[in-house]
Structure formats: C-alpha cells, structure tokens
Amino acid sequence: MASKNVMTIQRTLKLLHKSIKCSSIQVRKSSCWTQDNIITSPYKNLEIPNCTLFDYVWQNLEKWPERTAAVCATTGRGYTYEQGFRLSSNFAANLRKKFKIRDGDIVSVILPNTPDYPLITLGILEAGGVVSTINPAYTAHEVQRQLQMSNSKLVVTLPELTKVVKEALKQAKLDLNVIVVRTNGDAAPAGTILFSELSEDSHIDKDCLKEVRRSAKDICLLPYSSGTTGLPKGVELTNRNIVANCEQISELNIASNNETTATHQDAVMAVLPFFHVYGGTVVMFHKLSQGIKLVTLDKFQPEPFFRALEKFKTNLLFVAPPISLLMTTHPAATMKTFQNIEMVIGGAASFSDSDIKQFLNKAQRDIDFRQGYGLTETSPVICLPQRGSKRYATVGHVVPGSEIRIIDGDSNNLGPNQSGELLIRGPQVMKGYRENPQANAESFDKEWLRTGDLAIVDEDGVVTVTDRLKELIKVKGFQVPPAELEAVLREHPSITDAAVVGVPHPVNGEAPKAFVVLKKGKEVKAEEISQFVKERVAAFKRVDDIVFLDNIPKSATGKILRKDLKANYC
C-alpha cells in the first residue's frame, strides 16, 4: 500500500514537473520580448524557398490555369493564368534574342496598372533581367534621372507616354529601344516596338531562356526610394527578399486573402500602383502566387472605381489613406459599393483609429480592416495585425522570421511602451542602396536597418507607429523628398536658397510647403514659382504654398532646420 502511494506521488510529481516545464516553455514562446529587449514575431519561423521570384509566382500554375490572372476594370481585357504564362515567356525569349537582354540587365517599366504589367515584369525576370519601376506621372526630367542612375538597357511604356520617354532619353543622351503596350487600337509610335508582337510571337525559339542563370540571392527589383532622407536611391531587392516577404504575409494568422480552390477565387482591386513596392509585392506578385484575380485600374477616378468594385465583386481591397477617406465621404459610395468587400488592408501612410471606424460606419458591414507597416527597403511588409483585429491604430506584430528593436538617441534598446526609432532585421531587408555606400552606412546599424520611424511596442509585441524621424513628405501615400524639390527650386533663376517641409493636408495627408530666398534685386510671384516647379515634377510633388524669407535657418553644419521652419511658419 505504501509502495503504491509512493509511486502515485512520484507520478504526480513527474506530471506536475512536466506541466510546469511545458507551461514555462509556452510562456517563453508566447513572449515576444527577449532579455535584450529585442522583439520577435509570435508566429512560427518560416522556411524560405530557395528560388527566384519568377519560379515562386508560377509554382502552382497547374492548379488554376483557366482562372483569370488579371483583367482591366475598364475594358474587360485580360488573361488567364495559362495565357499569361505563355505570353510572358514569349516576351522573355524575345528580350534575350532581339534585344540582347542578359543576366542582371536593368529594364525600366513606366506603366500604370494594366493586365499586361505582371506579364511584362515576370517576362523581364524570366529573361534574367532586373525590373526598375518608374512612376508614369513623372516628367521627362525625373525619368531621365532614373534611367541614368539605374543604367537601364530598355524601356517599356505606353504609346501616350512615348513623348516623355523620348525627351528623357534625349536629356540623358541615351539611345535605348522602347517597347509600348497598346491598350487600344492606336498604332505604335514611330521607332517603338509593340509588346503584343513580342508576347504573341509563338514561333520564337525559347531555348535561349536555358542560358539564364539567376539565383535567390540575385537582385530582381530596383525601385527607387528616398530612404530616410535625401534624393531617390536605387533599392536593391533580391529574389529572396521578395519571396521571403510573400511567405511572411502568407502566415495564416495574418494572411490577407483566402485560399484559391475549385469553387473559390478571391478578386483583388489593384488600384494601388504596381510601380510602388506595396502594390508590386503585396498586390501583384503575392496575389498571383496565390491564384487570385487582379482587377486592374489604370488611374483612380471615384465613380469608375466604385462601379468596378461592384461589377467584379472584388472582396479584397488594398488602400492608402486618401482612397479610404474618399470612400467614406464620396456621395457615389453607398452600402452597395461595399457589399462584396471582406477585407481591407491599409498602408503607404498611417491611418488613425477614427479614419477606419468612419469607413466601417459607412460600409455598415463587418469588414476586416487592418493597417500594415513597411518600407520599400523591406520589400515592403514589416508588421501586420492578426485577422479580425479591432486594434485599428496599431500595425500588429512583426512578421515571421523578423525581429525589431526600439532604440533611443544613443542606440540603446528600449523596453515595452517606450517611444524610439524602430530598427528591423530579417530576410526581407534589402541588399542595400545601389552604388551608394554612404547611404548604406547611414541606414544600417550592422545587420539592422534603421527605418527612421518612431514607434512604441507594448508588452505583447504589438507595434504602434507614432511619427517619422525622416524628412519625407507623404502625399497620397507617395514619397516626396524635400531635397528633390529644394533642388528644383534652386534651379529657378531668381532663387538663391530654398527649403521644403511637409504640412497637414485634409485630403492628401500631407502637402509640401516651400520657403524661398530670392537673389538680391530679383522679384518673382509665388504663382510663377509654382508653375516653374509644376513643369518639372509629377502632380503629387507640386508646391502651391510658398513663403518668401530673407534666409533659411540652418545648423552650424549647414543642415536645414526644418523644425524651426515648422514651428515659426506652419
């Protein structure tokens, strides 16, 4: 009897010890904070496929060959997955054969969102090239700078943008072939080649594609970003960077789409521009890898946008704050407009808690609305809330396989609920800025990327982005670097010095405000300066608010004191 009691006690103690041990492991696993105040992801780590982005996107092609891959919201023109793969491969072979594109060559794409965009980018990648995206709203001056900086070998654009492209090539003193995507019946401009002739060339010998030697570590995308400060810099994103980020946002707890099955296919409204890494990675590449239908909109106009949401029964929507605000306030947006939407992901700039609640009140539906956080330099996603989260002001946990730190001005790690700069390390962090060692030195703290954003992380590892350390102005979610506008302003014959800051704007989020110092004896009206800038930059970068000063406040090292300008004049 005593022996039995002893055995019972021993078993009980053993089970209790095991229970305590398991409990402690679970607590340790659920805690996102390490002893060194590094914040980890609460989700299981991931294995990143060792493949190129091209192979990753098409890996499940046989599961949905007849599904629609992309369709134009306006014309209904589009492609199935099988058609898209075939046309894209024809294009790739022609890039190798006729245009001599070789591994690592840069091809610039200057297009709005069309069904052809993914075919073109994936074709460039299959040919061994690197895609450098350019905003189609850019002026010739802006285009020529990026063509030169990227050392592009070829340009793909629209017929109506050919004039701008040719002027840019003239300014850059470049002689490059121009391929145009015809979206209507217009003839190709003189001296250009039609994309359709290349993609529909079924007789092209594809054996040349066997020569391509690209790996996961090679660069596949070269978007341009201003980083934390300064003029645009080429962001070198590798195949592994983009593939890793696609895998990270596929984590079931945070996924922004449903599985494609024999009876279901999500439809996503592709209104965010593909030339921006948010639209390019999250909406285009990732959703194609998931077998989802892309409904493309080449330009944002409220009523056509609302009609497309209804007509194509789009259930996934990715937005920047201006689109969300417009959907909340525009009279043409009704409950019917929102009837099919199941999930909305916000990004590109911060959403307030009230912004999201106003949207949901307008929709009068239970919509999963979350805002994520990321950078061009991180492919882009760093944080994303769990599905169904109601903590609208937060951006959730860091994605799987990544870590973040919050640091003070002396680079010391801070603890929960303390505000400081957010740093990240993970497989989605860029290789670096192209041929810019100074920018890389400023942006990296060893293997950690400095985001330039202030954030707070609570005890559970949930992140709230509070402000920006960097000087970038966010207009409609687009980056407007003050240094770029200042350089343009200083080109004016009557201006000797200039400074630009961002000020709040009721619709666009922010707007640039300029301060100028005129040359001695010169007189010029603010309207004339606005027109001068307008002729040289894209619409979202235009400056309408101009203040004349005797001098620009600067530090002892010559840096513009933007805080002083904001404090005294904004």
- Decide if 180 is inside a domain: yes
The position carrying tokens 């640039």 is: 512
- What pLDDT score does 24 carry? 31
Per-residue pLDDT band at 3 (split at 50, 70, 90): very low
pLDDT value for 186: 77
pLDDT, average across residues 177-205: 93
For 64, 87, 200, 239, the CA distances from 291, given in Å and listed in that order, are 6, 17, 23, 20
The answer to the question of residue 190 being in a domain is yes
* Domain end marker among 169, 192, 214: 214
127: confidence class by pLDDT, cuts 50, 70, 90: very high
Beta strands (DSSP E) in 195-264 are 219-221, 224-225, 233-238
pLDDT for position 17: 41
Rounded alpha-carbon distances, angstroms, from residue 259 to 43, 191, 287, 316: 19, 45, 10, 13
- Side chain identity at 386, as an amino acid letter? Q
236 part of a folded domain: no
Mean pLDDT for 352-368 is: 91
Looking at residue 19, its pLDDT comes to: 38
Is residue 402 over pLDDT 60? yes
| Per-residue confidence band for 115, with pLDDT thresholds at 50, 70 and 90 | very high
Is 544 inside a domain boundary? yes
- Please give the pLDDT value at position 174: 97
CA 30 – CA 567 distance, rounded (Å): 44
Contact between 120 and 523 under an 8 Å Cβ cutoff? The reply is no
pLDDT band at residue 556 using 50, 70 and 90 as cut-offs: low
The pTM score is 0.86
CATH number for 556: 3.30.300.30
pLDDT at residue 479 greater than cutoff 50 = yes
In the predicted model, what is the mean pLDDT of residues 437-443? 94
Write the DSSP string, 528-562. Answer: HHHHHHHTTS-GGG---EEEE-S---B-TTS-B-H
Q: Which of 120, 130, 166, 167 is nearest to 151 (CA)?
A: 130
Phi/psi of residue 464, nearest 5 degrees = -125, 120
Instruction: Kindly tell me if the per-residue pLDDT of 431 is higher than 50.
Output: yes
The predicted-structure confidence for 8-55, as pLDDT tens digits, reads as follows 444 444 444 433 333 332 333 348 999 999 999 999 999 999 999 999
Q: What pairs with residue 109 in β-bridges?
A: 133, 156
- Total count of domains within the chain: 2
Among 182, 214, 246, the domain-final residue is: 214
Nearest-angstrom CA–CA distance, 446 and 354:
38
Is pLDDT at 1 greater than 60 in this prediction?
A: no
Which residue in 350, 315, 319, 335 sits closest to 465, CA to CA? 350
Q: Return the higher-pLDDT residue of 477 and 54.
A: 54
Look at 65-79, 228-242, 263-277, 387-401 and tell me which has the smallest mean pLDDT. 228-242
- pLDDT band for 230, please (50, 70, 90 cuts): low
Q: Is 183 a residue whose pLDDT tops 70?
A: yes
Is 483 inside a domain boundary?
Answer: yes
pLDDT digits (tens, 9 = 90+) for 524-548: 999 999 999 999 999 999 999 999 9
Instruction: Calculate mean pLDDT across residues 483-494.
Output: 91
228 pLDDT more than 70: no
First CA to last CA across the chain, in angstroms? Answer: 86
Percentage of the chain exceeding pLDDT 90: 81
Phi-psi region of 555 (alpha: psi -120 to 50; beta: other; left: phi over 0): beta
Does residue 45 lie within any of the structural domains? no
Q: What is the mean pLDDT of the chain?
A: 91
Write the CATH number for 151: 3.40.50.980
Residues 6+ apart with CB under 8 A from 219: 104, 130, 236, 237, 238, 239, 431
Sheet holding 373-374, edge to edge: 373-374, 381-384, 397-398
Whole domain around residue 548: which residue ranges? 473-569
What DSSP string describes 297-312? -SS--HHHHHHHHHHT
Alpha helices (runs of H) in 127-231, residue ranges in sequence order: 140-150, 162-172, 195-199
Name the phi and psi angles at 492, rounded to 5.
-65, 135
Helix runs in 183-227, H state only: 195-199
Domain assignment present for residue 520? The answer is yes
Confidence of residue 468 (pLDDT cuts 50, 70, 90): confident
Query: Domain for residue 509, yes or no?
Result: yes
Percent of the chain with pLDDT over 70: 94
pLDDT in tens, 262-306: 999 999 999 999 999 999 999 999 999 999 999 999 998 999 999
Q: Are the CB atoms for 319 and 279 separated by under 8 Å?
A: no
Mean pLDDT on 222-230: 76
- The whole-number pLDDT of residue 557 equals 57
| Domain end call among 185, 214, 243 | 214
> Which of 174-183, 342-351, 456-465 is least confident?
342-351
